[in-house]
Structure formats: structure tokens, C-alpha cells
């Protein structure tokens, strides 16, 4: 391990961290704009041209607000909650392959922080940890609404993780590897996994909505029942962290969906582009395509949020346990039979 390797990885980590924060920041702006356009409104347009400075203004507002810690809360856990939510949201980006290896001056730089051979399991672990931020925050607030919300978040995430894991098993049957890098490489050109696993993708996507606590599964923060949910007692930048973590989660799950099912940085005609642009710029173009896919998914998240009403809690559980899990199991069986059949003949 030489020093240049450390520097290279450090720079890559810094860039990815910066980009995910930037995207989360502008997701808040995009969310408000998309909501506005879907409702025939304009959305924020006062801060800067078209309101593009709105996230900065919101950030300043968050920092300037008075910070209130409830008297009977567990102070330490109350502080840990938002930090943990933010941390778990950010570390998911480590294993995502942002682009194929890039060549700068004869040096090959992989555009991925680390290519561990259990990449999917790592993502799963991180996503499961994400609920701890919500749970700890809800518990430490010493507020019944926050606690109810934390319980909801926990049970919802556990329920949907099962279906999510099962939908991934079917994908693993097809790809035969858990490394995200290899899964992406296999989807060269237009051989995207969504073409082989449409049902698996659908299940995975629905579960991602539930895992990120986004509408129509935003029961942990439904205003009409639980005031603000787990962040009812939070104010100032602690609240900001929770809201921010939600958008980073959305970015990470969009990236995971794009990697697993929509070919990551692969696109039709990429071999031609690789010859045209050379080994330095072609991977960057691939990264741009990857980000376009991510943005499309983020838009989809928002589009769904401003269209579909929230599920009732029993409907949520019904959908998770009685619909998605059997469907995912059926998907595994069908995929297994088809693969065995193809190998035989």
C-alpha cells in the first residue's frame, strides 16, 4: 500500500462525499420544484435566478434556529440520533461503482472507493443500520408521537427488508456474484438486469420506497397522525440532519437501483463511445450516464410522492408480508427453474 493509493482513495472519497451532499442539498430544491410543477405552481423562485440559492437559504435558516433539547430526553442519545442517521446514509456510497476504470497519464484509477466481494450485503447492512438513527431519535425524544413513529419505522423497515433481500436473491441467481462492480460489468451495453428481472426490480423498488421512508410509505413521519414523527422534538440543524439524511438515502437507493437493475454506467453504444472519447473521457461519460439514471430515479421518487396517498398501517403490513414476500419467493423459484432449464438444454 503506497502513499499515492491512499491519496487517490482519499480524493475519491472526498469527491463522492461532496457530490452526495450537493445532490441531497439540491434534492430538497428539486422536490419543491417538482411538487410545484405537478400542482401547476411555480415553486421557490425568490432566492437567486429560478430560486437556485434556496437550499443555501434553507441551510442558513436551519443553522440560525434556536436549538431545543427536551428537558426529560436522554441528552446523549438525542444528539447521537441525527448523526447516526446522517452517517449511515453517507457510508452506503462507498461500494457503488461510479464508473469504469479511468486512465489518466498511464495510471488506471477505478471510480469506486472499494470493490468488496459482498457489496450487496454491505449495502443491506448499511440500509438496515439506517433505521437506528430514526429509532434512537424517536426513543430519546421522550415523546409518545416520536416513539410511535420509531416503532413504525422499525417494523416497516424489518418487514420490507425481507422482501428486498428475497428480490435480490433472484438477481444473484442471474448474476452469480455479489460484487457490485462485477454485476455492473455484466450489464455491458444494453444487457440490463431489469430485462431479466422485471418483477424483482418492481419488488426491489417498492421496498426501496419503504426503506427510505418515502411516500407512499412515509408512515414514520405522517403529519396527520404523528405531528412530525420521529423528529417532532428536533429543531435547528439536528432536524436538518434528519431531513438531509432522507435525501441522501434517496440518492443512495437510486444509485443502487441504477447499478443493480439499470446497468450502472453502461449504456447502448458504449463501445463506440469508448473508441471515440479515449480511455480518460469515456469512463467520465459513463459516469454522467450513471448520474442521469440516478436523477431519473430521484425524479421518480418525487413524482410518486406527489401522486400517491399514504398507505394505512395495516395496508402497509399486508402489502409487505402477504404480497411482496410471496411474490419475491415465486420470483426466486421461477428464476431458478428457468436458469436450470437453460443450463440443461
Shortest distance in whole angstroms from residue 42 CB to another protein: 4
Selected from 10, 37, 272, 281, the binder of another protein by CB under 8 A is: 37
Q: Which is nearer to another protein, 2 or 40 (CB)?
A: 40
Rounded least distance, CB 186 to another protein, Å: 28
Comparing CB distances to another protein, the nearer of 181 and 310 is 310
Q: Is 47 in the site for another protein (CB under 8 A)?
A: no
Q: CB of residue 34 vs another protein: minimum separation in angstroms? A: 8
Q: Which stretch, 128-136, 289-297, 299-307, 337-345, contacts another protein (CB under 8 A)?
A: 299-307
Contact 271, 190 (CB under 8 A): no
Nearest partner of 170 among 128, 208, 198, judged by Cα: 198
Taking CB under 8 A as the criterion, the residue among 38, 80, 243, 277 binding another protein is: 38
What DSSP string runs through 155-212? HHHHHHHHHHHHHHHHHHHHH----HHHHHHHT-TT--HHHH-HHHHHHHHHHHHHHT
CA separation for the pair 315, 320 (Å, rounded): 8
Q: Which phi and psi angles does 101 have, rounded to 5°? A: -60, 135
- Euclidean distance between CA atoms 135 and 153, whole angstroms: 7
Element spanning 343, H or E: helix 325-344
Query: Residues 41, 61, 144, 191: which binds another protein (CB under 8 A)?
Result: 41
Name the residue among 31, 1, 96, 6 with its Cα closest to residue 302: 31
Interface with another protein, residue 52, by CB under 8 A:
no
Q: Using the rule CB under 8 A, which residue among 190, 272, 281, 303 binds another protein?
A: 303
**Distance in angstroms (rounded) separating the CA atoms of residues 256 and 109:** 21
Q: Interacting stretch for another protein, rule CB under 8 A, among 32-40, 129-137, 161-169, 222-230?
A: 32-40
- Of 40-48, 187-195, 270-278, 329-337, the segment contacting another protein by CB under 8 A is 40-48
* Neighbouring C-alpha atoms within 13 Å toward the C-beta of 107: 7
**Minimum distance between the CB of residue 185 and another protein, rounded to whole angstroms?**
32
Among 2, 5, 40, 341, binds another protein (CB under 8 A): 40
Q: What is the sign of the dihedral through the CA atoms of 189, 193, 199 and 204?
A: negative
Following DSSP, what letter does each residue of 5-59 receive, concatenated?
HHHHHHHHHHHHHHHHHHHHHHHHHHHHHHHHHHTT-----SSSGGGTTHHHHHH
Beta bridge partners of 99: 111
Q: Is 122 or 201 the residue whose CB approaches another protein more closely? A: 201
> With binding defined as CB under 8 A, does residue 21 bind another protein?
no
Binding segment toward another protein, per CB under 8 A, in 3-11, 31-39, 143-151, 168-176: 31-39
Segment interacting with another protein (CB under 8 A) among 54-62, 99-107, 238-246, 303-311 = 303-311
304 binds another protein (CB under 8 A): yes
Q: How far is the CB of 38 from another protein (least distance, A)?
A: 5
Of 190, 271, 307, 326, which one interacts with another protein (CB under 8 A)?
307
| Rounded Cα distance, 167 and 274, in Å | 33
**Angle, CA 223 vertex, CA 221 and CA 228 arms, to 5°:** 55
Question: Which DSSP string do the residues of 158-174 spell out, in sequence order?
Answer: HHHHHHHHHHHHHHHHH
In this structure, how many other beta carbons lie within 10 angstroms of the beta carbon of residue 322? 10
Region binding another protein by CB under 8 A among candidate stretches 36-44, 67-75, 109-117, 232-240: 36-44
Report the nearest approach of another protein to the CB of residue 307 (Å). Answer: 4
**Residues found near another protein in the complex (CB under 8 A):** 34, 36-42, 45, 303-304, 306-308
Amino acid at each position: 500500500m503506497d502513499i499515492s493509493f491512499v491519496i487517490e482513495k482519499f480524493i475519491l472519497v472526498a469527491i463522492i462525499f461532496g457530490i452526495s451532499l450537493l445532490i441531497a442539498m439540491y434534492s430538497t430544491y428539486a422536490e419543491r420544484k417538482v411538487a410545484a410543477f405537478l400542482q401547476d405552481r411555480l415553486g421557490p423562485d425568490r432566492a437567486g435566478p429560478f430560486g437556485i440559492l434556496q437550499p443555501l437559504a434553507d441551510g442558513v435558516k436551519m443553522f440560525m434556529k434556536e436549538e431545543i433539547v427536551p428537558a426529560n430526553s436522554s441528552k446523549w442519545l438525542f444528539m447521537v440520533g441525527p448523526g447516526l442517521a446522517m452517517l449511515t446514509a453517507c457510508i452506503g456510497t462507498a461500494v457503488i461503482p461510479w464508473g469504469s476504470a479511468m486512465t489518466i497519464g498511464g495510471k488506471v484509477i477505478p471510480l469506486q472507493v472499494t470493490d468488496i466481494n459482498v457489496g450487496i450485503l454491505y449495502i443491506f447492512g448499511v440500509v438496515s443500520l439506517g433505521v437506528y438513527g430514526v429509532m434512537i431519535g424517536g426513543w430519546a425524544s421522550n415523546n409518545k408521537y416520536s416513539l410511535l413513529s420509531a416503532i413504525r419505522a422499525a417494523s416497516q423497515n424489518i418487514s420490507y427488508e425481507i422482501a428486498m433481500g428475497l428480490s435480490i436473491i433472484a438477481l444473484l441467481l442471474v448474476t452469480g456474484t455479489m460484487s457490485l462492480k462485477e454485476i455492473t460489468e455484466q450489464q455491458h451495453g444494453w444487457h440490463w438486469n431489469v430485462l431479466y428481472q422485471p418483477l424483482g426490480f418492481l419488488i426491489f423498488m417498492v421496498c426501496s420506497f419503504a426503506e427510505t421512508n418515502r411516500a407512499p410509505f412515509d408512515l414514520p413521519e405522517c403529519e396527520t397522525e404523528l405531528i412530525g414523527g420521529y423528529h417532532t422534538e428536533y429543531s435547528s440543524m439536528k432536524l436538518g440532519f434528519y431531513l438531509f439524511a432522507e435525501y441522501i438515502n434517496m440518492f443512495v437507493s437510486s444509485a443502487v437501483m441504477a447499478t443493480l437493475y439499470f446497468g450502472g454506467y453502461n449504456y447502448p453504444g458504449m463501445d463506440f463511445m469508448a473508441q471515440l472519447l479515449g480511455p480518460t473521457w469515456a469512463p467520465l461519460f459513463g459516469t454522467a450516464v450513471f448520474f442521469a439514471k440516478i436523477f431519473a430515479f430521484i425524479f421518480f421518487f418525487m413524482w410518486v410522492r406527489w401522486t400517491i396517498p399514504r398507505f394505512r398501517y395495516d395496508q402497509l403490513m399486508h402489502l409487505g408480508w402477504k404480497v411482496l414476500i410471496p411474490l419475491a419467493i415465486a420470483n426466486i423459484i421461477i428464476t431458478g427453474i428457468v436458469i436450470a432449464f437453460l443450463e440443461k438444454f
